[in-house]
Structure 1
Amino acid sequence: MIIWINGPFGAGKTTLARKLQERRPAFLILDPEEIGFVVKATVPRSASGDYQDLPVWRSLTIAALAEIRRHYPQDILVPMTVVRPDYLDELLAGARAVDDRLVHVFLHLDASLLRARIQRQAMHPDPVRNAQIQQWRTSNIDRCLTARARMPPDTLFLDSGIHDPDDLAGIILDKLAHAPPQCRGR
């Protein structure tokens, strides 16, 4: 099974993935942002500066899922914000081709709480770079929160503003335990 954890920057996707892995150590975590760093260091930047706009990032993300699945039977957690519907469709279709047992989760929360979380996060040791990252994340709050309305119909929506990571992990694991056999993880 592949569990794609989507939502705004700062909503708690990576924290949730780690919490799920704590509760089920067999879970593997693939962070497509790491692939983005490689892409940014390797090929010319997109006009927007966002590596998600580069088809090579999307195809490498799917290829990484495929290779991980080819070599490892464990369930895979993918914490990654993808809010452009065409990119999300492409990535989720690719993930389904790798493993048809796909769960798409979207974390949402109040904009003011999200803004406060972003301001508290230390994303980079260099204070100037950290401020740039915080500014970029903050500038994307509305775009990411309004994307909720465009998520696929089978998306599991969870409020990371009212549930802590332990609660969210419990909700997801409970859903998986009560899913039909063909949707349960290994």
Structure 2
Amino acid sequence: MIIWLNGTYGAGKTTTTRELAALLPGSRVFDTETVGALLGPVLASEPVGNFQDWPPWRGVVVATATQVLRYTGGTLLVPQTVLSEEYWAELSAGFAEQDVPVRHVLLHCDPDTLTHRIRTDTAPESATAGPWRLRHRAAYRAALPWLRRSAEVVDTTHLTPAEAAAVIAQGRTP
């Protein structure tokens, strides 16, 4: 099974995933950004705004996740923002064709909380990522209608990452 943690950039997907991995013995984290990094040099002549725009990224993510699950079993945790409904449909269809169940979870918080979290994030990589994350809030708001339809929504406005992970591990949404 895959638990795909979606949400806007800076929503806490990576931190929540670490907490969730500690609660689910035998789970593994699959950072699909590594697929983008793998394809980057190969597809450098095909410029895109986001590595998800490369059709091979979506296919390689499905193939890799499927192979890992068939090899190891268990649960694969995927912390990855997908704001394109078309891309999510393609990923979902690919997993369905492979008989891989996917639990799509949206980590959501109110806009003021999100902005505060991004601006006060002290992780070293956040110094340069913060402004980039802030610029993507509008795209996230535009994607919210389809995200709410296709995912379990976990409102993290008043939850720590550990609390959000506990909600997800228990298989319930508040």
* TM-score bracket, shorter-length normalisation: 0.7 to 0.9
1:154-182 CA distance string (max 9 Å, x none)? 52101122111222122112227xxxxxx
Hey, what does 1:162 align to over in structure 2?
A: 158
Any residues of structure 2 matched to 1:113-132 within 5 Å, and which?
A: 113-121=113-121, 122=123, 124=125, 130-131=127-128
Provide the alpha-carbon RMSD of the alignment. 2.0
Distance 1:139 1:64, change over 3 A: same
State the TM-score, normalizing by the size of structure 2: 0.88
SS, match of residue 153 in structure 1: helix
Which residue of 117, 132, 138 corresponds with 1:136?
Answer: 132
How far did residue 103 of structure 1 move?
0.7
CA distance in 2, matches of 1:171, 1:98: 27
Number of equivalenced pairs: 171
State the TM-score, normalizing by the size of structure 1: 0.83
Q: Does residue 147 of structure 2 align to residue 148 of structure 1?
A: no
Q: Does residue 170 of structure 2 align to residue 171 of structure 1?
A: no
* AA aligned opposite 1:161: T
1:31-60 CA distance string (max 9 Å, x none)? 111111222233126544311111111111
* AA aligned opposite 1:56: P
Residue ranges of structure 2 left out of the alignment (5+ in a row): none
Q: Percent identity?
A: 31
- Runs of 4+ aligned residues of structure 1 deviating over 6 Å after TM superposition are none
Any residues of structure 2 matched to 1:1-186 within 5 Å, and which?
A: 1-44=1-44, 46-121=46-121, 122=123, 124=125, 130-131=127-128, 133-151=129-147, 153-175=149-171
How far did residue 3 of structure 1 move?
0.7
Mapped contact 1:46–1:53 kept (Cα < 8 A): no
